[in-house]
Structure 1
Amino acid sequence: MKRSIRIVTAALLLVGAASLAQAQDGPPPDPTADPLMISAGFLSAHPDLRYRLLGLERYREQRFEDAFRFFQRSAFYADKPSQGMVAEMLWKGEGVAQDRALAYAWMDLAAERGYLGFLGLRERYWNALDEAERARALEQGQAVYAKYGDAAAQPRLATVLRRERKNITGSRTGFVGSLQIFVPGPGGYQPIDGSKLHDDRFWDPEKYMAWHDAIWARPMIGRVDVGEVEKVDEPEPLPSRIPKAAPETDAQEPTTPDADESGLGTQPPQPGQAASGP
């Protein structure tokens, strides 16, 4: 069990190009791996990615309490990888009191869109719970879904994306053509191609969610196959066990510590860096 958790934790840290390469229809380059995109204000307009990266930075530094809070704040904006990290940390008791029942509720939430990696962990969690923990997981999960489920969280993110797009240079006219945006960088101001910053897949809520789906539907989770390659039909994923709850559209955003974001996104975590924990 611990081995599989380490593998998936490492996979969650792969925000960059290796996972993006699996997306269909020519995915845009990973904006979180481009210091110039970060300097252009991209992360401030995308709180899901911003707080996930801050959580990953703190996790690598083993500042687990801060990491947990940043992941929760990212989860508030429908970020499934962050919801999975909240579950992992609750399951292992990293930065928060261990609570396996609540961890299951969060992993069920992370699997809400049918992402295979999270579905697999959700079932492992469920099989490890006793009957009392299962009952509590289903009860507590309703509050988790009410505040962090897609019905509540996706509209929040959509509001931010639409609002912040209006504040990006050149977006009001919709013309990006030969537009260049100058941002501070090493050795002075540097230009970035306006079409890169204004890619609809970063700003249109539906296209943005589709971009995430393309990345996380089949995440990079380590596996070793022995013997001849065999095609196996994948079973239909089981639906959520947690009863539906009315979305809390006016829920209060989680608070997080003040953060130094000067180097955020400039040093993407490498595979397995967070996999050395217990």
Structure 2
Amino acid sequence: MVVVLGLLVGAGHAALAQEAPTSKPVTDPKDLRELAKFEEMMDVPGVARQHKDILYRELAMEAYKNGDKERALKMFMRAASYADKPSQAAIADMYWEGVGTAVDRPRAYAWMDLAATRGYDRFLAKREYYWSQLTEAERAQALRVGQDIYAEYDDKIALHRLQMELEFTRRNVVGSHVGFVGTGKVYGFTHTMNTGRASTGLPRPGGNATSTSGSEQDLGLPIANLSELYRPSIWKVNDYARFKDIQWQERVESKPTVDVGDLQNVATPPAK
């Protein structure tokens, strides 16, 4: 079926990453150590979903698995507006295959071209395959459609959009307009992290809270230090995008893949 969608739906937490080329393996131990910390902090309940690229991609995958392909496409579009490359590639596949929308091969090519702008091997290969299948008229149309898509979803625009969201969330939770973090700890209950009890849906920083009756209210177990939770790789857009790339490269791109074709009916031999 659709290779990109298969990766996204089946990759679990590795699907938090953007795809990076296998020809550029990560060898810097410092990057690998930061990747481990990046993944640990992104696993803190509520953190990943404060990143709009991840939030909308997760909603898209959920809709896709539940059979609501039209909603999946809409959610992938929202994720794509925050520079999420796998979502952009998923959109391309859906237009190419006519999943959740009518078949539109020129538009599919334009989306895959955008997904490949960071030089990721699989998306580059898929883009070239699409181009080879287009007629001359479709190629001309793809170039025209691509101008409109790039005008709204190009990385320069989409990453800036994501940056604004991340900065707002970080300032809102930390409570400092200049970004001061401090040395406190984050406490919380795992089952209440995504209920919106904090203004952003993240666990509140602090220790004990006083209830309206004046008694002490336990906020749960310590989850992370503030300095760890608000590290640049989580909230600074350039660092964040870089470690998404590294994560996909290490957890997905470095793994061998098999491209399975469409299902076919196979005649069952008669019983002997």
Provide the TM-score with structure 1 as the length reference: 0.69
1:145-189 CA-partner distances (Å, limit 9, x unpaired): 00011121111111111111112247643224x513224528x94
Deviation of 1:131 (Å): 1.2
- Give the Cα–Cα distance (whole angstroms) in 2 for the partners of residues 30 and 192 of structure 1: 14
Check the 8 A contact 1:116/1:217 in 2, yes or no: no
Return the match for 1:174 from 181, 205, 208: 181
Secondary structure of 1:180 counterpart: strand
Secondary structure of 2:45 counterpart: helix
**Structure 1 residue 37 corresponds to structure 2 residue 45:** yes
2:83 equivalent in structure 1? 78
Runs of 4+ in 1 over 6 A off after TM superposition: 275-278
Check the 8 A contact 1:115/1:216 in 2, yes or no: no
Q: State which structure, 1 or 2, has the greater radius of gyration over its C-alpha atoms.
A: 2
- Give the Cα–Cα distance (whole angstroms) in 2 for the partners of residues 201 and 155 of structure 1: 16
**Letter of the structure 2 residue corresponding to residue 10 of structure 1:** G
Return the match for 1:211 from 232, 235, 243: 243
| Greater Cα offset, 148-157 or 213-222 | 213-222
- Give the Cα–Cα distance (whole angstroms) in 2 for the partners of residues 120 and 53 of structure 1: 25
Deviation of 1:56 (Å): 0.7
**Letter of the structure 2 residue corresponding to residue 11 of structure 1:** L
Q: Which runs of 5+ in 2 are unaligned?
A: 18-24, 193-218, 265-272
**Structure 1 pair 79–277 and aligned structure 2 pair: CA distance change class (3 A):** farther
**Structure 1 pair 83–102 and aligned structure 2 pair: CA distance change class (3 A):** same
- Give the Cα–Cα distance (whole angstroms) in 2 for the partners of residues 198 and 17 of structure 1: 21
Q: Which runs of 5+ in 1 are unaligned?
A: 225-271
Check the 8 A contact 1:88/1:103 in 2, yes or no: yes
1:263 equivalent in structure 2? none
Check the 8 A contact 1:17/1:29 in 2, yes or no: no
Deviation of 1:115 (Å): 1.2
Deviation of 1:86 (Å): 0.6
Question: What is the percent sequence identity of the aligned residues?
Answer: 38
**Letter of the structure 2 residue corresponding to residue 193 of structure 1:** A
**Letter of the structure 2 residue corresponding to residue 192 of structure 1:** I
Matches within 5 A, 1:1-278: 5-6=2-3, 8-13=4-9, 14-17=11-14, 25=31, 26=33, 27=35, 28-30=37-39, 34=43, 36-38=44-46, 42-169=47-174, 172-176=179-183, 179-185=185-191, 189-194=220-225, 195-216=227-248, 219-220=252-253, 222-223=256-257
**Structure 1 pair 213–64 and aligned structure 2 pair: CA distance change class (3 A):** same
**Structure 1 pair 29–217 and aligned structure 2 pair: CA distance change class (3 A):** closer
Give the structure with the larger helix fraction.
2
**Structure 1 pair 216–142 and aligned structure 2 pair: CA distance change class (3 A):** farther
**Structure 1 pair 57–165 and aligned structure 2 pair: CA distance change class (3 A):** same
Check the 8 A contact 2:116/2:127 in 1, yes or no: yes
Check the 8 A contact 2:41/2:228 in 1, yes or no: no
- Give the Cα–Cα distance (whole angstroms) in 1 for the partners of residues 67 and 42 of structure 2: 22
Secondary structure of 1:213 counterpart: helix
Check the 8 A contact 2:189/2:221 in 1, yes or no: yes
| Greater Cα offset, 84-93 or 197-206 | 197-206
Deviation of 1:60 (Å): 1.1
Provide the TM-score with structure 2 as the length reference: 0.70
1:33-82 CA-partner distances (Å, limit 9, x unpaired): 73x422xxx24531111001110111111210000000000111111111
**Structure 1 pair 157–103 and aligned structure 2 pair: CA distance change class (3 A):** same
- Give the Cα–Cα distance (whole angstroms) in 2 for the partners of residues 208 and 71 of structure 1: 19
**Letter of the structure 1 residue corresponding to residue 45 of structure 2:** M
Deviation of 1:85 (Å): 0.7
1:89-109 CA-partner distances (Å, limit 9, x unpaired): 111111111111100000000
- Give the Cα–Cα distance (whole angstroms) in 2 for the partners of residues 223 and 156 of structure 1: 33
